[in-house]
Amino acid sequence: MQKGFTVWFTGLSGAGKTTITERLVELIQEKGRNVEVLDGDVVRTNLSKGLGFSKEDRDTNIKRIAFVCKLLTRNGAAVISAAISPYRDIRQHARDEIKNFVEVYVSCPLEVCESRDVKGLYAKARAGEIKQFTGIDDPYEEPLNPEVVCETDKETVEQSAQKVMAKLEELGYFA
Protein backbone atom coordinates (compact mmCIF):
# COMPACT_ATOMS: atom_id res chain seq x y z
CA MET A 1 0.00 0.00 0.00
CA GLN A 2 1.24 3.50 -0.82
CA LYS A 3 2.01 5.91 2.00
CA GLY A 4 -0.81 8.40 2.49
CA PHE A 5 -0.26 12.09 3.01
CA THR A 6 -2.15 15.36 3.31
CA VAL A 7 -1.08 18.57 1.62
CA TRP A 8 -2.61 21.37 3.69
CA PHE A 9 -2.89 24.64 1.76
CA THR A 10 -3.42 27.74 3.88
CA GLY A 11 -3.63 31.39 2.88
CA LEU A 12 -5.95 34.33 2.40
CA SER A 13 -9.03 34.19 0.22
CA GLY A 14 -7.86 34.76 -3.35
CA ALA A 15 -4.24 33.79 -2.66
CA GLY A 16 -4.40 30.85 -5.09
CA LYS A 17 -5.01 27.76 -2.96
CA THR A 18 -7.66 26.25 -5.23
CA THR A 19 -5.81 27.16 -8.42
CA ILE A 20 -2.59 25.48 -7.28
CA THR A 21 -4.62 22.52 -6.01
CA GLU A 22 -6.10 21.95 -9.47
CA ARG A 23 -2.63 21.72 -11.04
CA LEU A 24 -1.24 19.65 -8.17
CA VAL A 25 -4.05 17.10 -8.63
CA GLU A 26 -2.92 16.62 -12.25
CA LEU A 27 0.73 16.19 -11.20
CA ILE A 28 -0.17 13.63 -8.52
CA GLN A 29 -2.36 11.70 -10.96
CA GLU A 30 0.50 11.67 -13.49
CA LYS A 31 2.48 9.78 -10.82
CA GLY A 32 -0.26 7.12 -10.78
CA ARG A 33 -1.91 8.16 -7.53
CA ASN A 34 -5.55 8.86 -6.86
CA VAL A 35 -6.10 12.05 -4.94
CA GLU A 36 -8.96 13.47 -2.90
CA VAL A 37 -9.51 17.20 -2.49
CA LEU A 38 -11.24 18.89 0.43
CA ASP A 39 -11.76 22.46 -0.76
CA GLY A 40 -12.90 24.95 1.87
CA ASP A 41 -15.88 26.22 -0.12
CA VAL A 42 -17.09 22.70 -0.97
CA VAL A 43 -16.65 21.48 2.62
CA ARG A 44 -18.64 24.44 3.97
CA THR A 45 -21.48 23.57 1.59
CA ASN A 46 -21.58 19.87 2.46
CA LEU A 47 -19.73 18.85 5.63
CA SER A 48 -19.93 22.08 7.61
CA LYS A 49 -23.21 23.60 6.46
CA GLY A 50 -24.66 25.88 9.08
CA LEU A 51 -21.37 26.94 10.62
CA GLY A 52 -20.64 30.64 10.77
CA PHE A 53 -17.31 32.44 10.84
CA SER A 54 -16.68 32.87 14.55
CA LYS A 55 -13.34 31.47 15.75
CA GLU A 56 -15.21 28.53 17.31
CA ASP A 57 -17.06 27.73 14.07
CA ARG A 58 -13.91 28.12 11.98
CA ASP A 59 -12.07 25.77 14.34
CA THR A 60 -14.93 23.25 14.12
CA ASN A 61 -14.78 23.42 10.33
CA ILE A 62 -11.01 22.80 10.31
CA LYS A 63 -11.35 19.95 12.83
CA ARG A 64 -13.88 18.29 10.51
CA ILE A 65 -11.58 18.69 7.51
CA ALA A 66 -8.65 17.35 9.54
CA PHE A 67 -10.68 14.33 10.67
CA VAL A 68 -11.55 13.37 7.08
CA CYS A 69 -7.95 13.98 5.98
CA LYS A 70 -6.70 11.76 8.81
CA LEU A 71 -9.00 8.89 7.79
CA LEU A 72 -8.03 9.12 4.14
CA THR A 73 -4.31 9.56 4.86
CA ARG A 74 -4.06 6.58 7.19
CA ASN A 75 -5.65 4.47 4.45
CA GLY A 76 -2.97 5.41 1.93
CA ALA A 77 -4.74 8.24 0.11
CA ALA A 78 -3.16 11.35 -1.30
CA VAL A 79 -5.24 14.20 0.13
CA ILE A 80 -5.28 17.93 -0.47
CA SER A 81 -7.00 20.38 1.86
CA ALA A 82 -7.43 23.90 0.48
CA ALA A 83 -9.00 26.02 3.21
CA ILE A 84 -8.06 29.43 4.60
CA SER A 85 -7.50 27.90 8.08
CA PRO A 86 -6.43 31.25 9.53
CA TYR A 87 -5.31 30.21 13.03
CA ARG A 88 -1.97 28.57 13.85
CA ASP A 89 -3.31 26.57 16.80
CA ILE A 90 -5.94 24.75 14.75
CA ARG A 91 -3.46 24.07 11.92
CA GLN A 92 -1.16 22.54 14.55
CA HIS A 93 -4.09 20.41 15.71
CA ALA A 94 -4.56 19.21 12.12
CA ARG A 95 -0.83 18.44 11.82
CA ASP A 96 -0.86 16.47 15.09
CA GLU A 97 -3.96 14.49 14.07
CA ILE A 98 -3.00 13.68 10.50
CA LYS A 99 0.76 12.95 10.97
CA ASN A 100 1.84 12.78 7.27
CA PHE A 101 1.14 16.49 6.93
CA VAL A 102 2.71 18.92 4.49
CA GLU A 103 1.79 22.54 5.16
CA VAL A 104 1.85 24.84 2.15
CA TYR A 105 1.57 28.54 2.85
CA VAL A 106 0.10 30.30 -0.18
CA SER A 107 1.55 33.74 0.41
CA CYS A 108 0.07 36.69 -1.41
CA PRO A 109 -0.26 40.36 -0.42
CA LEU A 110 -3.75 41.39 0.65
CA GLU A 111 -4.05 43.98 -2.13
CA VAL A 112 -3.32 41.31 -4.76
CA CYS A 113 -5.90 38.96 -3.21
CA GLU A 114 -8.43 41.79 -3.29
CA SER A 115 -7.69 42.48 -6.96
CA ARG A 116 -8.33 38.79 -7.77
CA ASP A 117 -11.62 38.67 -5.84
CA VAL A 118 -14.14 37.45 -8.42
CA LYS A 119 -16.89 36.99 -5.81
CA GLY A 120 -16.57 40.54 -4.45
CA LEU A 121 -16.12 39.29 -0.89
CA TYR A 122 -13.38 41.74 0.07
CA ALA A 123 -15.45 44.69 -1.17
CA LYS A 124 -18.41 43.45 0.87
CA ALA A 125 -16.19 43.02 3.93
CA ARG A 126 -14.74 46.51 3.55
CA ALA A 127 -18.29 47.87 3.21
CA GLY A 128 -19.28 46.12 6.45
CA GLU A 129 -21.65 43.71 4.69
CA ILE A 130 -19.57 40.67 5.73
CA LYS A 131 -18.29 40.46 9.30
CA GLN A 132 -15.29 38.45 10.55
CA PHE A 133 -13.68 38.29 7.10
CA THR A 134 -10.13 36.96 7.26
CA GLY A 135 -7.58 39.63 6.45
CA ILE A 136 -10.03 42.52 6.91
CA ASP A 137 -11.61 42.37 10.37
CA ASP A 138 -10.45 38.91 11.42
CA PRO A 139 -6.79 37.89 11.68
CA TYR A 140 -4.79 35.55 9.48
CA GLU A 141 -1.84 34.02 11.35
CA GLU A 142 0.89 33.17 8.86
CA PRO A 143 2.54 29.77 9.35
CA LEU A 144 5.87 29.91 11.16
CA ASN A 145 7.47 26.81 9.61
CA PRO A 146 5.54 25.54 6.59
CA GLU A 147 7.15 22.84 4.49
CA VAL A 148 6.53 24.92 1.35
CA VAL A 149 5.88 28.62 0.68
CA CYS A 150 4.26 29.55 -2.64
CA GLU A 151 4.43 33.27 -3.43
CA THR A 152 1.64 33.56 -5.95
CA ASP A 153 2.29 37.22 -6.72
CA LYS A 154 5.81 36.26 -7.88
CA GLU A 155 5.53 32.74 -9.32
CA THR A 156 3.31 30.96 -11.80
CA VAL A 157 0.79 28.30 -10.87
CA GLU A 158 3.11 25.75 -12.49
CA GLN A 159 6.10 26.88 -10.42
CA SER A 160 4.06 26.71 -7.21
CA ALA A 161 2.65 23.26 -7.99
CA GLN A 162 6.11 21.97 -8.93
CA LYS A 163 7.53 23.26 -5.61
CA VAL A 164 4.91 21.23 -3.74
CA MET A 165 5.59 18.12 -5.86
CA ALA A 166 9.33 18.44 -5.25
CA LYS A 167 8.71 18.52 -1.49
CA LEU A 168 6.38 15.48 -1.66
CA GLU A 169 9.05 13.57 -3.58
CA GLU A 170 11.76 14.69 -1.13
CA LEU A 171 9.61 13.41 1.75
CA GLY A 172 9.28 10.00 0.08
CA TYR A 173 5.59 10.01 -0.79
CA PHE A 174 6.26 8.75 -4.30
CA ALA A 175 8.14 5.54 -5.09
Amino acid at 45: T
Any catalytic annotation for residue 85?
yes
- Residues 57, 69, 157, 115: what is their CA dihedral angle, to the nearest 10 degrees? -10
CA distance 132 to 93: 22
Strands in 101-107's sheet, in edge-to-edge order, are: 35-39, 78-82, 5-10, 101-107, 148-151
Nearest one of 72, 63, 89 to 33, comparing CA atoms: 72
CA distance 94 to 9: 12
What letters, b where the CB count within 10 A reaches 16 and e where it falls short, cover 109-140?
A: eeebbbebeeeebbeebeeeebeebbbbebeb
Instruction: From the candidates 13, 85, 107, 160, give the one annotated as an active-site residue.
Output: 85
Pairing of strands 101-107, 148-151: parallel
Active-site residues: which are they? 85
